[in-house]
Homo-oligomer: A and B are copies of this chain.
């Protein structure tokens, strides 16, 4: 893995950098010593290296039990589905919906309250045997609870109440809450959400790992990658800790007025990795009137929509490019006899050659337009490297939030809409 900020430090004065480096050392030491804000939720820090191999076996065995259904619905919102979706979308075929796979299609529910969405999902699954993975710490969050009511009823109708119990897995608190109670009553297979790992840091727990395994990907390889990243962070000083360098860089940029960070990809499979990253950083940093606004750029796609703004609009942006060195497949640009598009000079070259020139050309053009660019590069998009990226961003996010002195692990503001909503639900009945 590589991180490049293109000598950005040279643009800042050395006193400021020195102060940040001093703070960085303190932050790193606080995080590992559990002395920082919210340290009761830092169970994710040592998670990759301490995962029990029995848990991996159990998850894989459970995943296997769904191998003969066409659809498995993951019910969850926020951190309860974004990690799994990020990894699955990152690894699966762009057109897998149209292909008869050996593994189930993963569908998602309980992450919105759209009546048409629930109706159409029910319509699709009517009469079918399907699986449900319901993920909720409490079991009372409105969105997943409503979806679970509808889909549980449907599954019981489709396959009978008894058989439905083998088609439902609950991922929830170890002892408390509505979902735990229901799972115990009905004898659902259950996995535990650890107490010391918050939703947005939970992808390497069963919350993320079970859906990923059901989709047919190697969770062991993901863990292997994350272990490497965990050790890289743990065993490095702040100068060789790439996650810390990323955190320092974005903090410098934020302090200089860059209040929007665009996580850019050049591969559409990374779009939902961006959505996961948005929650991770937005929810960790966005408090006390502070925080960088995280947003996604799917390039070159969005160069033809947001490209104009990035190049010449308000100068409050910087870009972090999530780069993949090599594609997984090869396709060469064909020769055209007529050559009316004048692109024959590219014939015989791989498509990715053009993609990489677009990436480098864009970086130069945007930097010329005073949009700072950072690059994080992995060699190839696979389980191992996604595992590394996950841990890299988790620890970089914790560092970053500590730079602006906020608690990276709480989300007090999420309650505000819920309180108003529940008040209205009761008053407007």
A residues adjacent to B (C-beta < 8 A): 71, 77-79, 82, 93-95, 97-99, 105, 107, 111-124, 139-140, 142-143, 145-146, 148-150, 153, 178-179, 181-182, 185, 199-200, 259-260, 266-269, 275, 278-279, 282-283, 285-291, 293-295, 298-301, 303-317, 327-331, 333-334, 336, 338, 340-343, 345-346, 349-355, 357-358, 360-362, 364-366, 368-369, 381, 411-414, 416-426, 428-429
CB-based contact A352/B115 at 8 Å:
yes
Residues of B within 8 Å of A420, CB to CB, are 360-362, 364-365
CB-based contact B309/A343 at 8 Å:
no
Residues of B within 8 Å of A413, CB to CB, are 307-312, 369
CB-based contact B428/A357 at 8 Å:
yes
CB-based contact B361/A424 at 8 Å:
yes
Residues of B within 8 Å of A424, CB to CB, are 357, 360-361
Residues of B within 8 Å of A98, CB to CB, are 71, 97, 105, 124
Min distance, Cβ A399 to any Cβ of chain B, angstroms: 18
Residues of B within 8 Å of A304, CB to CB, are 77-79, 111, 143, 199, 279, 414
CB-based contact B301/A111 at 8 Å:
yes
Q: List 10 A-B contacts (CB under 8 A).
A: A114-B266, A115-B350, A140-B342, A143-B300, A148-B341, A294-B306, A303-B414, A312-B413, A358-B421, A364-B420
**Given known contacts A120-B94, A146-B333, is B115 in contact with A311 (CB within 8 Å)?**
no
**Given known contacts A120-B94, A286-B308, A331-B115, is B313 in contact with A149 (CB within 8 Å)?**
no
CB-based contact A295/B298 at 8 Å:
no
CB-based contact A120/B93 at 8 Å:
yes
Residue of A340, A353, A354 contacting most chain B CB atoms (<10 Å):
A340
Min distance, Cβ A162 to any Cβ of chain B, angstroms: 16
Residues of B within 8 Å of A181, CB to CB, are 340
Taking a contact as CB atoms closer than 8 A, the residue among B114, B259, B305 that contacts A282 in the complex is B305
Taking a contact as CB atoms closer than 8 A, the residue among B95, B299, B418 that contacts A124 in the complex is B95
Complex: chain B residue closest to A94, CB-CB: B120
CB-based contact B314/A286 at 8 Å:
yes
Residues of B within 8 Å of A293, CB to CB, are 260, 295, 309, 313-314, 316-317
Residue of A146, A307, A381, A419 contacting most chain B CB atoms (<10 Å):
A307
CB-based contact B314/A289 at 8 Å:
yes
Complex: chain B residue closest to A355, CB-CB: B113
Residues of B within 8 Å of A368, CB to CB, are 416
**Given known contacts A259-B316, A304-B279, is B115 in contact with A99 (CB within 8 Å)?**
no
